[in-house]
Structure 1
Amino acid sequence: MPVTAQEALRITTVLEQELDKRQKPIKLWNDYYGGKHNLGFASPRFQAAFGGLFETFADNWTEIVCDAAAERLTPTGFRFGTGDDKDPPEADKDAQRIWQASSMDAWAKVAHTEAMVKARAFVLVWVENPDADQPEPEITVEDATQCVVAYEPGSRRRRKAALKRWDGEDGYAYATLYLPDQIWKWRRRALASGLILPASLTAGWQPRGDDPDQQVIDNPLGRVCMVELRNRPRLVDDPTPEHAGVIPLQNALNKLIADLMTASEAGAFPARWGTGIDLPKDPLTGQEMDDPGLWRLAVNKMLRASNPAAKFGNFAAADLSNFVAGIELLTGHIAALSRTPATYFMGKIENVAADTMTAAETALVSKSRDKTTFLGEDWEEVMRLAFLVKDDRKRGMNPLAETIWANVAYRSEAQMMDALTKKKTLGVPWRQLMEDAGYTPTQIDRMEVMLQQDADRAARALAFGGVDDITGGGTGGDPVPEPAAA
């Protein structure tokens, strides 16, 4: 049901308040992913002595934790079921064309990374060219700092409204409110720094655009056209980013590494000592003078003294192994808590068998497979909206949509071929084997055409007595005639 401008403004205000609440944690999560860490466990004394030295230092493991899961998630196509067991659905070619037209084979990876880092990512589906005779959907990935989605009371799927807010380059802030049957457009004056002026000075949001017909438009889809991708969704609590649980360990790791570098600077190089050495004396005071040139050592210099009783030596260097052990311990805890294989944190891997690598990645594979279940539902809704843009309600309202994912487990070529061979002996169809091998629906279609061409060539060669080059007989002479019809 259409709403009034006053009600639309009220919904916008409520959604904006929720969006403002999310800004601080999102900034924190994003800073840690980007390596902008505070030296969390440094004492005041340490900060006073070395705070400026390590102000920009970070040994960033949170980026690996987020990327390890995101890089496993690759949608390759969609199916739309018919409910008929005798007619199993194949990958939908129209869905693949829509996906490719919006470059989603690349931007879906960005959406997954954003969800891992900021707990949420958003996808907007709208009409690429509203004035076209044949409307085409446009799919775009939106940032969690700019978007928020509200759901119907008691539901975690039915979207009630969505808001996108951003700062323009013309001194205005803009917002668009998406409702199931209407889309409202707003703007208001903003400060040069991007801060919003108080509503008392700007009268809040005002309709955007000079044409009243463009300030509010109908939503022909009948649904809120923004979809929220949630990482680690919960029943009551908010979704969380992938690295939320390891941020305290990252702080401790930064502290230990800073201590390691401080100790290496102060005590890792052996200090020398000398006894029984006659130092030069000041002719006026008679006091011994410490000659810096006497103790300035180099590779081509030696210490010497005229006194036969003089002795030289050096103190033992500081032992840094305790710092290294602590760093390795914390790194292991980060790997365990995030279910990221320890091999991701190692600079060098030697003599590791493929079966050992597979076993080490079991937890990450399981976690990634769970993510495909939830994210797959979101991408299916995105594709339904895309078909509603094309007024294809059969697929736009189809509850039997399915996202096709690339295998989340990495396998060696030998492991993959062995698994496919065994599946083939069980009677798994050829197309399913190719999907399991990691080929996209487009690649599988192309291979099917090539297989048919190879079969046609073989049949024609057999009809002409095994001649390989059916266009010229293999001798450069006259072309071999086509076989007569039976």
Structure 2
Amino acid sequence: MPVSAQEALRITRVLEAELDKRQPSIKLWNDHFVGRHNLEWASDRFRQAFGGLFADFSDNWCEVVCSAPAERLTPLGFRFGTGDDSDPATADKDAQRIWQSSNMDAWARVAHTEAMVKARAFVLVWVEDPDSGDDEPEITVEDATQCIVAYEPGSRRRRVAALKRWDGEDGYTYATLYLPDEIWKWRRSSSLSGLVLPAALTSGWQPRGDDPEQFRIDNPLKRVPMVELRNRPRLIDDPSPEHANVIPLQGAANKLLVDMLTASEGGAFPARWGAGIDLPKDPLTGQEIDDPELWRLSVSKMLRASNPQAKFGNFEAADLRNFVSGITLVTEHISALSRTPPTYFMGKVENVAADALTASEAGLTSKCAEKTAFMGEDWEEVMRLAFLVKGDKVRGNNPLAETIWRDVAYRTEAQHIDAVLKKKALGVPWRQLMEDAGYTPTQIDRMETMLEADANRAARALAFGTPGGEDVPEGEPEGALV
């Protein structure tokens, strides 16, 4: 039911306070994903010795851990079992058109990556151009630093409110509150003479614009039009990013690599020594000249001594393999904890059987299949909202919606086609086989049309012969069978 402006403002402030609490964690997770790591394990002695020499150094495995599952999650289309005469086995063509008109073939991948990195991603569904009178829906992916969704107490599905807040380039911060029955639009000053001020020092939220119709509008969907994609959802605890338990190990890997680099600078090259060497003397003072340049060796210099008892030698270089062993151990732990195949952490793969590679990916495949189950529900809700925008209440309230995913397991082309052929022998229908083969609904429709055209062409060839044979029936253009 509609709320007053005062109540809408109260809800906005409550959601904004919760959104602000999430910012430090989201920044930490995102920094580790993009490789902005601070050397938190470095000692004070190390910092004094090397200062900021390695301030920007990172051997970033967090990006690998987050991208590995995200790159395997690809929605291909949607089915709607409507209960009428439509075929529930085929992908919904209207859903496919809406999906592609919003460029979601590409942006769904971004949404999955954002969810892996920041624990959440958000998808907003609204009218593409409200002023045009057209009801074409628009689907956009929103960032976790700008959006938050509130749920009904005791429910993890029923959304009661959503907020999107962002900074404009005109010195104002904007916010839009989405409720089931209405939408409220706010703004407040966020800068003074070009200086960005904390929210506590700025004025409160004010109606956006002078027109009351722009400040508050009815929500014809009767549903909050923002959907939250949660990564690793829990019953009570908040969702978590994919690399949450990898971040401490990432710090250990960075420290070991920096230690190896500093050891290579100071001890990896064999230091030389000399004994019984007569230093040259200054002819004026008679004192020995201890010039370091005399002992700086290169390919064009050599050491010599007038004393026949002089000796030369060198110390053994530091063995850096101990660091390599430690780094390898850390990456193995990262692989085990995140269920990322070891091949993702190796520079090369040698003498590994195909079955062993498949077994090493079992954990990642299982994890991705679990993600399709949860995120599939979220994408289905997105498509229901899109149909509600179009006024289609049948599909907009359909609980039988289903997301069609590309296979999350990696196989060679030979393995993939062999599996499809074996399914065919079991009697699996042709369209399902094509989905299992990885084709999109649009490609399958095109192939089906081509198969029908080939069948019609073959039937005409059998019935009327080839050109130059029997007469072509009246109405058929000559050479039509060529």
Same fold by TM (over 0.5)? yes
1:261 maps to what in 2?
Answer: 261
1:366 maps to amino acid: S
Shift of 1:355: 2.2
1:404-423 → structure 2 map (5 Å cutoff): 404-423=404-423
Change (3 A) 1:412 1:81: same
TM-score of the aligned structures, taking structure 2 as reference length: 0.95
2:19 maps to amino acid: L
Task: Write out per-residue CA displacement over residues 203-248 of structure 1, whole angstroms, 9 at most, x where no aligned residue.
Answer: x101001111111000000000000000000000000000010000
Shift of 1:480: 5.1
1:35 maps to what in 2?
Answer: 35
Shift of 1:54: 0.8
Q: Structure 2: any 5+ residue segments left out of the alignment?
A: none
Shift of 1:139: 0.4
2:241 maps to what in 1?
Answer: 241
Q: Is the 8 A contact 1:82 1:89 kept in 2?
A: no
Q: Does 1:314 align with 2:314?
A: yes
RMSD: 2.1
TM-score of the aligned structures, taking structure 1 as reference length: 0.94
Change (3 A) 1:400 1:274: same
Q: Is the 8 A contact 1:151 1:158 kept in 2?
A: yes
Task: Write out per-residue CA displacement over residues 451-475 of structure 1, whole angstroms, 9 at most, x where no aligned residue.
Answer: 111111222222243x3899999xx
Shift of 1:481: 7.9
Supply the distance in 2 between the matched residues of 1:368 and 1:468 (Cα, whole angstroms): 55
Supply the distance in 1 between the matched residues of 2:471 and 2:21 (Cα, whole angstroms): 75
Supply the distance in 1 between the matched residues of 2:358 and 2:235 (Cα, whole angstroms): 32
Q: Structure 1: any 5+ residue segments left out of the alignment?
A: none
Q: Is the 8 A contact 1:470 1:479 kept in 2?
A: no
Supply the distance in 2 between the matched residues of 1:85 and 1:365 (Cα, whole angstroms): 36
Change (3 A) 1:194 1:105: farther
Supply the distance in 2 between the matched residues of 1:454 and 1:354 (Cα, whole angstroms): 38
Change (3 A) 1:6 1:86: closer
Task: Write out per-residue CA displacement over residues 252-286 of structure 1, whole angstroms, 9 at most, x where no aligned residue.
Answer: 11100000000000000011111222111234553
Q: Is the 8 A contact 1:256 1:326 kept in 2?
A: yes
Supply the distance in 2 between the matched residues of 1:184 and 1:470 (Cα, whole angstroms): 75
Q: Does 1:304 align with 2:304?
A: yes
Supply the distance in 2 between the matched residues of 1:130 and 1:168 (Cα, whole angstroms): 21
Change (3 A) 1:320 1:222: same
Q: Is the 8 A contact 1:406 1:438 kept in 2?
A: yes
Shift of 1:373: 0.4
1:74-85 → structure 2 map (5 Å cutoff): 74-83=74-83
Supply the distance in 2 between the matched residues of 1:301 and 1:279 (Cα, whole angstroms): 17
Q: Is the 8 A contact 2:467 2:479 kept in 1?
A: no
1:142 maps to amino acid: E
2:146 maps to amino acid: Q
Q: Is the 8 A contact 1:173 1:196 kept in 2?
A: no
1:384 maps to what in 2?
Answer: 384
Q: Is the 8 A contact 2:181 2:219 kept in 1?
A: yes
Q: Does 1:479 align with 2:478?
A: yes
Change (3 A) 1:104 1:344: same
Supply the distance in 2 between the matched residues of 1:101 and 1:86 (Cα, whole angstroms): 23
Shift of 1:84: 7.5
Aligned residues: 475
150-159 vs 79-88, which deviates more? 79-88
Q: Does 1:198 align with 2:200?
A: yes
1:111-126 → structure 2 map (5 Å cutoff): 111-126=111-126
Supply the distance in 1 between the matched residues of 2:52 and 2:18 (Cα, whole angstroms): 36
1:146 maps to amino acid: Q
Shift of 1:293: 3.8
Supply the distance in 1 between the matched residues of 2:409 and 2:470 (Cα, whole angstroms): 45
Q: Does 1:346 align with 2:332?
A: no
1:214 maps to amino acid: Q
Q: Is the 8 A contact 1:188 1:205 kept in 2?
A: yes
269-278 vs 98-107, which deviates more? 269-278
Identity of aligned residues (%): 75
Q: Is the 8 A contact 1:354 1:412 kept in 2?
A: no
Shift of 1:89: 3.3
Shift of 1:49: 1.1
Q: Is the 8 A contact 1:34 1:63 kept in 2?
A: yes
2:108 maps to amino acid: A
Supply the distance in 2 between the matched residues of 1:387 and 1:241 (Cα, whole angstroms): 31
Q: Is the 8 A contact 1:78 1:404 kept in 2?
A: yes
Task: Write out per-residue CA displacement over residues 48-79 of structure 1, whole angstroms, 9 at most, x where no aligned residue.
Answer: 11131111111100000000010010000000
SS in 2 for 1:269: coil
1:370 maps to what in 2?
Answer: 370
Shift of 1:3: 0.3
